[in-house]
Amino acid sequence: MMDFNYSNPTKIFFGKNKLKVLPEQIKRYGSKVLLVYGGGSIKRNGIYDNIVKLLKDNSIDFWELSGVEPNPRITTVRKGIDICRKNNIELVLAVGGGSTIDCSKVVAAGFYYEKDPWNIVKAPYRIKKVLPVASVLTIAATGSEMDTFAVITNMDTNEKLGTGHPDMAPVFSILDPTYTFTVPKNQTAAGTADIMSHTFEDYFSKPDSAFLQNKISEAILKTCINYGKKALDKPDDYEARANLMWASSLAIDGLASYGKDANWCVHPMEHELSAFYDITHGVGLAILTPVWMKYILDESTVDKFVEYGINVWEIDASKDKYDIANMAIDKTREFFNLLGIPSKLTEVGIGEDRLEIMAQGAVRYGKIGGIRKLDKDDVLNIYKAAL
């Protein structure tokens, strides 16, 4: 039965040259900003210079936290909190992808938390107050630009954990698709796979009475299938980049999951891979997804795969239901391969040795999965089948 509360507090400014709203939007919250970014892509493509000029021209003081890692580390979060405290920062501005935005969110929450911020990653209920966070998005993938979550890695303990709080949603996000023209092919592919995986997590959850949510999911999946390869082949294809960018935000902001028991499954399995092997999130998801789909395909789930096959892949509805389901799964894998993503864990350097401990980690909070619940042995079987 559908029963939910809906709220989406993030203001979105979408389109070419939307950066111009940045100063006025920042000034709603103050004039002392922590500018957070990654390994330097924003310096190479000019976004950094444009932002710095806007901040200086509008008398907005800023301090910098640079070098946020893909799979952002708690050590970087700690550095950001120190800068915020020393300089009475009023807004944390993330310029980058999910890693930069996630790091910024936990810096903003950690600012008000007097102990070590790893505690608020492990136990989100400890978050009571959060500095305003805003983002300028540079890659279509995680949806962190319009959601309340953050994922942080602790390399000392090989843990990559999600946290969240309603006030961690960015107060505004600027989405200029031209900023994603410089995203390299492998990250474009991984981002597309990530958007699709967020959608699968909701789509393959119960109940099916959430008809509208299912249709939204199918539309997001078709958008990724239609535009993923186009963005790869022609990086400055505005239409492709824009559709992927908006799909990124809508895939995880709740639109497709409200009213469903969306107990995510492939994500906890993938986060273990990233925690131990530091691989790209979307690549891990794309390898695991078709294997997971085959694993859970049985009499209790086949109808959902038929729905997926017919509505998303336009497979002939008159075929046998298991043929449709298997064709849909094969097409999913073929699509990821078309984007240049490999099919096996061994191809990204993951062997047998740590599968057991990762399987344990994936179910640390209990069984996972919306349409079929998986325990540790199931996860281990999926990892082994993905080698």
Binding site for ligand NZQ (CB under 6 A): 38-42, 45, 70-71, 96-100, 102, 138-139, 141-144, 147, 149-151, 179-180, 182-183, 187, 191, 194, 252, 267, 281-282
**What is the layout of strands, in order, in the sheet containing 32-36?**
11-14, 172-175, 133-137, 91-96, 32-36, 61-65
Please state, in angstroms and as integers, the Cα–Cα distance from residue 317 to each residue in 169, 296, 299, 322, 324, following that order. 41, 21, 18, 11, 8
Q: How far apart are CA 175 and CA 70, in angstroms?
A: 20
CB closer to ligand NZQ out of 324 and 374: 374
Please report how close the Cβ of residue 13 comes to ligand NZQ at its closest, in angstroms: 17
237 burial class (0-12, 13-18, 19+ CB within 10 angstroms)?
A: middle
CB closer to Zn ion out of 90 and 270: 270
> 29 is in the binding site of which of Zn ion, ligand NZQ, none (Cβ under 5 to 8 A by kind)?
none
Contact call for residues 87 and 219 (beta carbons, < 8 A): no
272 binds Zn ion (CB under 5 A): no
> 305 is in the binding site of which of Zn ion, ligand NZQ, none (Cβ under 5 to 8 A by kind)?
none
Contact call for residues 18 and 175 (beta carbons, < 8 A): yes
Please report how close the Cβ of residue 214 comes to ligand NZQ at its closest, in angstroms: 20
Query: Which residue from 245, 254, 264 is spatially nearest to 197, judged by alpha carbons?
Result: 264
Nearest position to ligand NZQ, beta carbon: 38
Q: How far apart are CA 132 and CA 90, in angstroms?
A: 7
> 38 is in the binding site of which of Zn ion, ligand NZQ, none (Cβ under 5 to 8 A by kind)?
ligand NZQ
Q: 11-14 and 172-175: which strand pairing?
A: parallel
CB closer to ligand NZQ out of 23 and 39: 39
Over the window 170 to 209, marking each residue x when it contacts Zn ion by CB under 5 A and - when it does not, the resulting string is ------------------------x---------------
CB closer to ligand NZQ out of 123 and 317: 123
Amino acid identity of residue 274, one-letter, is S
> 288 is in the binding site of which of ligand NZQ, Zn ion, none (Cβ under 5 to 8 A by kind)?
none
Please report how close the Cβ of residue 300 comes to ligand NZQ at its closest, in angstroms: 26
Nearest position to Zn ion, beta carbon: 194
User: Cα 127 vs. chain centroid, distance in angstroms?
Assistant: 21
CB closer to ligand NZQ out of 97 and 309: 97
N-to-C CA span, the chain: 39
CB closer to ligand NZQ out of 141 and 296: 141
CB closer to Zn ion out of 194 and 378: 194
- DSSP type of residue 51: H
Q: List interacting residues with Zn ion (CB under 5 A).
A: 194
